[in-house]
Amino acid sequence: MNLTRIIACRNSLVKVVVEVLTLFVCVTQFVVAQENDRTASYNTLRVIESGDIIGFADPSGNNVWLGVPFARPPMGDYRWRAPRQPESWAGVREALDYSSVCSQLGTVFGGASQDEFGQLIGSEDCLYLNIWVPQSMTPESIAAGERLPVMLWIHGGGNRIGAGSTFQYAEALASKHELVVVTINYRLGPFGWFLIPEINEQLLGSEAQRQQEDLSGNYGTLDIIESLRWVQRNIENFGGDKDRVTIFGESAGGQDVYSMLVSPVSEGLFHRAISQSGGVLTISAPEASNYLDDEQPGHFNSSGEITLELAILENNLSDRNVAKSWVASQNSNSLSEWLRAKSSAEVFGALKGEGVDYGVQEMPNVIRDGYVIPAVESWELYTNHLHDKGVPLIAGTNRDEVKLQYSSNPDFVDASGAVPRIKDVGDYTRVTQYISKLWRTFGTDLPSRNITQAGGAPVYAYRFDYDQLAESPVFSLKDLLGAHHGAEIAYAFGAPPQTSMRYPEEYQGERNALADAMSSYWANFAYTGAPGRGREGNLPVWQAWSNETEGPKLQVFASEEDGGIHQISSEATITSVIAEMENDAALAGDGEATCYLISRVFADQVGDWAINSTSSQIIENHRCN
């Protein structure tokens, strides 16, 4: 597997999720919110730009509004166009239920039942958001001018699966720390990122900005931006402070946080940002749109390839060149009408690649189109834009990120018995450790150094190390999963995992304390732009990253036996990761073993959209013979 695939794997939920980790992770981490008593409450009546809306009170002490439209349904003529403002309604709209998830193949991360796994679920009519507000924020206090900071959550799932409704944690964060919390849906997969400018030559409306957005192909990115525009226009009616908006997201949601930081279109719509296990991943416009066999090749699921496959399927063609000729013969109007008339099932049926049964097929997303996302040529130039808005940032990763993906890799784990068995614990730990450090490099340390060197707003870096999981003589979740991808989410929301076969009872108090601390840092950041000592001022001070002589600062969230919450001076770079592998004591200077390790960790090819040219040369110099 080349390094492009390894890094892209960060935002892919591979087959292991559906197999082993559905039992050990998904059931506890990503659960569709259960129905409580959702009786409309008169105290929740609010007036927004589209009309009157009413929600309900939840058991945690919040008022809640679910399924609030922030854009017009992106269907028919609005498919593959920038989102438009929602239409108004008459009377009072009840906001008591989540909307449909955006069109995707079924996984637990999109709230699918087991018999829906691999099946198309959801709808293109999915651009809705959900709001939690502490009940202390009454109509009277709103009228008096009281306002709470807003935190807007961008869900993960590789920008292909997931939904804003699959997290039960928002209610805890809102009520515990007096915050307005918003979760959103955004278009996914082939409906979220699809670059064929010709299909939008017949533009809707005359506003120049919207026309440029229509042509960008970044529709999922624009949905996130549109939700932020909605917040700016409406959130004060719920008691939210439109001048203190924090965006935060995990995995692909963290990637999307970075895209908000670099996009000129999102200027002024948010004021702090948190990227959890994200990365600055993008794709060029030619790769997103060209055919696979063009002189400048496109992705195998580029918009051009999807269009070609649809033409082949409809016309029962076996020759690609004939299909290309048929597509080329269509004028922009006929091509646009033809593509927009295709059903969601037909579009998804045109996708190629392994993993399609589990909704995790690779697809272009976050396209460097030159308008929504800068059209730079390399990762290094992309990061130069991260400081443009002067927005304070929290960025971090988990110590054992890739154990989630590797835990049923047959090269490392035997899953044929009653429980998974790691074939060689030392080898498994070593490989996952170094690949996880690379994730930290691209998701935390390189962005932190770049922003700080450019004189941007402060960056607060972290690593999540907490790994007190179930142990037995025959099975160790700590070894298998450790501080894996997604493990920090519940803690950041202040909703610690409860005792179960995965989480030992003796550590419940420790989990509660860690969740209180992490959510307190997150909340104080939303209030002030710095995590500091948390909302209560009783936590270890979290210092900003520094490039000065004292070294970069990294906040570590660990178990009590591993030092608890503490700060270290540490930085992971391409060079340092290679040096660690070359000096790994377990390999005892064995050059062949070291070479083999480096080749497995780094791979044979390096994608220039993921790594800058300097890094590529460093890796080339250490390539095995």
Q: What is the pLDDT of residues 352-365, one digit of tens each?
A: 986 544 556 789 99
Question: Is residue 288 assigned to a domain?
Answer: no
Question: Is residue 20 assigned to a domain?
Answer: no
pLDDT in tens, 88-101: 999 999 999 999 99
- The three-state secondary structure class of 424 is coil
Work out how many domains the chain is built from and give that number: 1
Residues 6+ apart with CB under 8 A from 202: 332, 333, 336
Contacts of residues 582-588 at CB distance under 8 Å and 24 or more positions apart, as own/partner, are 584/430, 586/426, 586/430
C-alpha distances in angstroms, 157 versus 171, 266, 528? 21, 22, 29
C-alpha distances in angstroms, 284 versus 197, 442, 554? 14, 18, 32
Q: Which 8-state DSSP code applies to residue 481?
A: T
Q: At what angle do helices 591-602 and 574-582 cross, to 10 degrees?
A: 150
Residues 6+ apart with CB under 8 A from 168: 31, 33, 34, 495
> Mean pLDDT of all residues in the chain?
88
What's the count of helices (H) and strands (E) in the chain, helices before strands?
A: 25, 20
User: Which amino acid, residue 146?
Assistant: E
Question: Is residue 516 assigned to a domain?
Answer: yes
The residue segments making up the domain with residue 507 are 392-621
Spatial distance between the Cα atoms of 446 and 444, rounded to a whole number of angstroms: 6
Question: Is residue 306 assigned to a domain?
Answer: no
C-alpha distances in angstroms, 69 versus 49, 111, 171, 220, 574? 11, 20, 20, 15, 44
First and final C-alpha spacing in the chain:
17
C-alpha distances in angstroms, 162 versus 30, 251, 516? 9, 11, 26
- The three-state secondary structure class of 104 is strand
Length of the chain as a residue count: 625
C-alpha distances in angstroms, 490 versus 78, 172, 176, 402? 36, 10, 13, 18
Spatial distance between the Cα atoms of 616 and 574, rounded to a whole number of angstroms: 9
Burial 258-272 (b: 16+ CB within 10 A, else e): bbbbbbebbeebbbb
What pLDDT was estimated at residue 611?
44
Give burial (CB, 10 Å; 0-12/13-18/19+) of 509.
Answer: exposed
> Kindly report the CA angle at 280 between 279 and 285, in degrees rounded to 5?
135
**Low pLDDT (below 70) residues in the chain:** 1-36, 206, 354-360, 379, 549, 603-625
What pLDDT was estimated at residue 617?
61
Torsions phi, psi for 136 (to 5 deg): -65, -20
Cβ 536 vs Cβ 530: under 8 Å? no
Question: Is residue 529 assigned to a domain?
Answer: yes
Comparing C-alpha atoms, which of 48, 33, 2 is closest to residue 101? 33
Question: Is residue 324 assigned to a domain?
Answer: no
Question: Is residue 352 assigned to a domain?
Answer: no
Task: Count other Cβ atoms within 10 Å, centred on residue 519.
Answer: 25
Q: Which 8-state DSSP code applies to residue 119?
A: S
Spatial distance between the Cα atoms of 401 and 406, rounded to a whole number of angstroms: 10
3-state SS, 254-281, equals: HHHHHHHHHCHHHCCCCCEEEEECCCCC
pTM: 0.92
